[in-house]
Amino acid sequence: MKKALQVQALTKRFPGVLALDRVSFDLEPGEVHALCGENGAGKSTLIKCLSGIWQHGTYEGSIHVNGIEARMRGIRNAETLGIGVIYQELALVSEMTVAENIFLGSEPTTATGLIDWNQMYSKTRALLQEYALDLDPAARIGDLGIGHQQLVEIVKALSKDTKILLLDEPTAALTETEVEILLDIIRSLRKRGVTCVYISHKLDEVFAISDRITVLRDGCSIATHLAAETSKSAIIEEMVGREIKDLFPKRVSHPGETIFSVENLTVLDETDGKPLIENLSFSIRAGEVLGFGGLMGAGRTELVMHLFGALGKRVSGNVLLHGKPLENHTPSDAIHRGMMLVSEDRKRYGLVLEKDIGFNQSLASLDQFTKGLFVNELAEVQANWKLFKSLRVKAPGLEYISGGLSGGNQQKIVLAKALMTEPSIILLDEPTRGIDVGAKLEVYELINQLTEQGKAVILVSSELPELLGMSDRIIVLSEGKRGGEFPATTATQSQILEAAMTNS
Amino acid sequence: MNSTVSLRNYSMAIGLILIWLFFSFATDNFLSSRNLSLLSIELAITATLALGMLLVLLPGYIDLSVGSGVGLIGGIATVLIFHYEWNAVAAMLTGLAVAVGLWCLMGSIITKQRVPAFIITLGGLLVFKGLFWKVIQSETVPVTAGDSANAMSLTTTYYLPETAGFILLAIVTAFLIRGKLRERAQRAAYGFEVEPKRHSFLKVFVAFQVMLLCTLIMNQYRGIPLSVVILGAVAFGVFLLTRHTRFGRYLYAIGGNKEAAVLSGIPVDKVVITAYAILGGIVALSGFMQTAYSGNSTTTIGNLMELDAIAACVIGGTSLAGGRGNVLGVLVGALIMASLLNGMTLMSVDPSDKFIARGLVLAVAVWLDVYLSRKK
């Protein structure tokens, strides 16, 4: 029997990063095939290659669908080949009805060219019945729960005669009952001969649903197992199974006194009131690196954003910085109190991309250069130059537009902006995401310099080797709660991963 | 950054020269000193308002209410002067205070209550228009009682005497030279490259020549109009504000990336409200000048001026999405709009055709800007 899909030696490079390294795997028709791997192992890149987002020619290797090589030039191409994708982020229009969403872009029309509403709604009703979904075709998407929205998304994909369905972390936002409904639907799809690729961090689900499991690590396909013949612990071992390379510069840490402490912190989402952080306590000393591990969506970013005064509503808990309470504060207050955040998304939260390097570097520190009304631009440029050179930013000069820089150099500008505020505690959220190895090493050296100067560093990272290599202690968050705490010297990647998955 | 801005300004400057060439051939007296003096007063009113508009466009906001505001604030001052026989200065200060208060209020609603600026200021457009008509009771109220001039009427009728014009020229030139010298000394002190002396001299010299030419032309008629001096002061103030203060940096940062601005510790709400407050003050200033220029406060004062102000900014390279724009560009844009209107009036163009021409120029200018930036 022909393979539904065959991927051979797929290699995808980004500047300075090898995202996929000769990945091979195949799909039997009608099977549920799970892809497992840490954040950054290459799962999402693989999905993007299979769905035509990365077009044929931007990668090496081949993709065969039903035995015929697929040279996809876009998402439409993939759709005509019968490949559909469900992303973690839903792609529905919340102001439109279920039917309108399902037929968005392929609305049935009458002979006169107007939309044939009757046909649209009757077709939708038929589709929903086919999958035994109790949904009103005329319901507004925004009025449905996330779980039902996810199901609509799946029906939408199936309405396009999808033979291969790629599900990228479909349960990340779902409640347990919603997860059960979703898994049932996937099982019924299997009976109809639809092939599914299931990506999830939640190994329980993976084992509940999949026939085979392929493990990805550092862009390589490590192994494929029959689900019945392997175990959770074996998969975890394969996911992390690598030596911590000598990437992390050695350092001696000699922590000083406690400068920052958090007690019984509980934070709610301002808009929907869902808990982001629940009853979390920790403290950090001068010269110490405290690592935060956990899965995506575990609340790590929300934690640092809240501590910085940019997110969430605190319902309980004390936060003390240098012994004084930090509450109802704005980022501006935090900066003045000696705290600075380097956010995980430098393009969205870090840089004014259309402005030059110097503008961005000093943006948070203009107070230092302002006497009276005016900014002393020469003193500012001088300070900018100093950081620009000491961080070895690779750019022609300070007047260079920051949007034109590589990821690593943009990250250096964001770090420079943070350093210029002279913080005593610095919150680094995924500081090495999407930057090349050389720049990573420089970031690590910088972290060590900071701790030598007696600054406290909170490091949020999804890369376990980095977390283990750079931190003194590691706290693992799981769904906003403490999942465990480990001293970095003795912790293992498996311990951390297990703690991260405890509540799921 | 500098190179792209100057390239765009360049294309607009060429457009301006073409417009001037056209009108100088199409009319007998476009380049006469009398008309240029008139044009400079019209420019002063348009450009002053546009410079205020720049302050809210930079952080990515907008204000549609400035035209009605011009009428309302001018009307308040006029009524206080004519009906209540207030001293003109006191009347103008009252108008200024009202304007700053109203614009603070709008800025607060926009930022704190998160209502889109477009909606709030559209509401302002209608409300201020209604208030304006109530204030002047839908009548025509003269700015001065009889022939006696007052501080408000003088904003567009006073001209600096010939010698005063030259003295002003000398003072401004002295400031330019002093600024250039200081800049050079500071750059040297901080160890930066200093431009060749020849370049510094040439820049100051060309600026001096241009100003001297303008002064001579103005002096041929009645002298430098006070409104031009007001525009100069406002332009210099806005230039300093946008280029050399924290506030100015924050305007660009908010317009460029609001989320990054918040996380950089910028008090976004405060900055935006301040921008609206300053705009309010400028609206008042424009209101006094526009009302004085027409001699009376009537129901049509300020009509469509918000669109002229936005058009001047956009022609001058200001981005409606925020983050891009500068004073020189706005001045060029305002000069284009003012020249068009003035020239067409001289040609006795039908009012309907004037609207169409101004609209087309706006569309073509922005298309050209998009086209040029895409081509690179």
| Residues B187 and B282 reside in one and the same domain | no
**How many CA within 13 A on the CB side of residue A493?**
20
Q: What distances in angstroms separate CA A170 from CA A44, A88, A149, A183, B70, one per listed residue?
A: 13, 5, 11, 10, 56
In a domain, B163, yes or no: no
B211-219 long-range CB contacts below 8 Å, 24 or more apart? B211/B169, B211/B172, B211/B173, B212/B169, B215/B165, B215/B166, B215/B168, B215/B169, B217/B33, B217/B36, B217/B37, B218/B33, B218/B36, B218/B37, B218/B40, B218/B159, B218/B165, B219/B162, B219/B165, B219/B166
Contacts of A446 (CB under 8 A, 6+ apart): A391, A415
Per residue in B171-202, pLDDT (tens digit) is: 999 999 998 998 888 888 877 788 888 998 99
Report how far residue B338's alpha carbon sits from residue B312's, in angstroms, rounded to the nearest whole number: 9
| Residues B207 and B244 reside in one and the same domain | no
Question: Last residue of some domain: B184, B199, B224?
Answer: B224
Asked if the Cβ–Cβ distance from B265 to A381 is below 8 Å, we say no
Q: Tokens for A392? A: 């070895």
Give me the residue spans of the domains in chain A: 5-240, 243-338+423-504, 351-422
Nearest to B260 among A351, A373, A401 (CB): A351
Q: What is the predicted pLDDT for the residue at B92?
A: 96
Q: Are A472 and A269 in contact (CB under 8 A)?
A: no
B252 part of contact set with chain A, CB < 8 Å: yes
Report how far residue A80's alpha carbon sits from residue A70's, in angstroms, rounded to the nearest whole number: 11
Answer whether A5-240 and A243-338+423-504 agree in fold. yes
Per residue in A360-379, pLDDT (tens digit) is: 999 999 999 998 889 988 89
Asked if the Cβ–Cβ distance from A332 to B190 is below 8 Å, we say no
A371 part of contact set with chain B, CB < 8 Å: no
Asked if the Cβ–Cβ distance from B266 to A352 is below 8 Å, we say no
Q: Are B225 and B217 in contact (CB under 8 A)?
A: no
| Residues B236 and B260 reside in one and the same domain | yes
Q: A338: which chain B residues are within 8 Å (Cβ-Cβ)? A: none
Asked if the Cβ–Cβ distance from A399 to B261 is below 8 Å, we say no
State whether CATH 3.40.920.10 applies to domain A5-240.
no
| Residues B335 and B322 reside in one and the same domain | yes
- Tell me which chain B residue has its CA closest to the CA of residue A336: B265
Strands (E), A138-211: 164-168, 195-199
In a domain, B193, yes or no: yes
Phi-psi region of A435 (alpha: psi -120 to 50; beta: other; left: phi over 0): beta
Q: B6: which chain A residues are within 8 Å (Cβ-Cβ)? A: none
| Residues B134 and B265 reside in one and the same domain | yes
Report how far residue B1's alpha carbon sits from residue A360's, in angstroms, rounded to the nearest whole number: 14
What CATH number is attached to the domain comprising B140? Answer: 1.10.3470.10
**Nearest alpha carbon to residue A203 among A235, A242, A170, A171:** A235
Q: What is the predicted pLDDT for the residue at A244?
A: 44
| Residues B197 and B141 reside in one and the same domain | no
In a domain, B9, yes or no: yes
Q: What is the predicted pLDDT for the residue at A42?
A: 83
Asked if the Cβ–Cβ distance from A335 to B265 is below 8 Å, we say yes
Q: What is the predicted pLDDT for the residue at A421?
A: 95
**Nearest alpha carbon to residue B359 among B374, B343, B375, B337:** B337
pTM of the entire predicted model: 0.82
- Tell me which chain B residue has its CA closest to the CA of residue A334: B265
Phi, psi of A334 (to 5 degrees): -60, -45
pLDDT tens-digit profile, chain A (504 residues) = 688 999 999 999 877 678 899 999 899 999 999 998 876 688 888 988 998 888 888 899 999 998 888 888 888 888 888 998 888 777 888 889 999 999 988 888 888 889 899 999 999 999 898 887 888 999 999 888 777 888 888 888 888 888 999 998 887 767 777 788 888 888 988 888 899 999 887 788 899 999 999 999 888 888 899 999 998 888 888 887 754 455 677 677 788 899 999 999 999 998 888 899 999 999 999 999 999 998 877 899 999 999 999 998 999 999 999 999 998 899 999 999 999 999 988 888 999 999 999 999 999 999 999 988 899 888 999 999 999 999 998 888 898 899 888 888 899 999 999 999 999 999 999 998 877 767 888 899 999 999 999 999 999 998 888 899 899 999 999 889 998 999 988 888 888 888 887 754
ipTM: 0.85
What are residue A282's DSSP bridge partners?
A262
B263 part of contact set with chain A, CB < 8 Å: yes
Q: What is the predicted pLDDT for the residue at B7?
A: 58
Q: What is the CA radius of gyration of chain A?
A: 25
What is the three-class DSSP state of A53?
coil
A364 part of contact set with chain B, CB < 8 Å: yes
| Residues B43 and B131 reside in one and the same domain | yes
B265 part of contact set with chain A, CB < 8 Å: yes
Q: How many domains does chain B have?
A: 2
In a domain, B274, yes or no: yes
In a domain, B165, yes or no: no
| Residues B101 and B243 reside in one and the same domain | yes
Return the number of CB contacts < 8 Å for A and B.
87
- Site of tokens 């994708």: A85
Question: Last residue of some domain: B202, B224, B246?
Answer: B224
In a domain, B149, yes or no: yes
B114 part of contact set with chain A, CB < 8 Å: no
| Residues B131 and B15 reside in one and the same domain | yes
Q: What is the predicted pLDDT for the residue at B2?
A: 41
Reported as type and span, the H/E element at residue A128 is helix A117-130
In a domain, B166, yes or no: no
Mean pLDDT of B253-267: 94
Max mean pLDDT among A216-220, B133-137, B372-376 falls in: B133-137
Q: A348: which chain B residues are within 8 Å (Cβ-Cβ)? A: 257, 259-260
Reported as type and span, the H/E element at residue A316 is strand A313-321
In a domain, B333, yes or no: yes
Strands (E), chain B: 141-142, 296-297
| Residues B343 and B367 reside in one and the same domain | yes
- Tell me which chain A residue has its CA closest to the CA of residue B253: A352
| Residues B262 and B248 reside in one and the same domain | yes
Residue B78 lies in domain: 2-158+225-375
The architecture of the domain spanning A243-338+423-504 is 3-Layer(aba) Sandwich (3.40)
| Residues B296 and B215 reside in one and the same domain | no
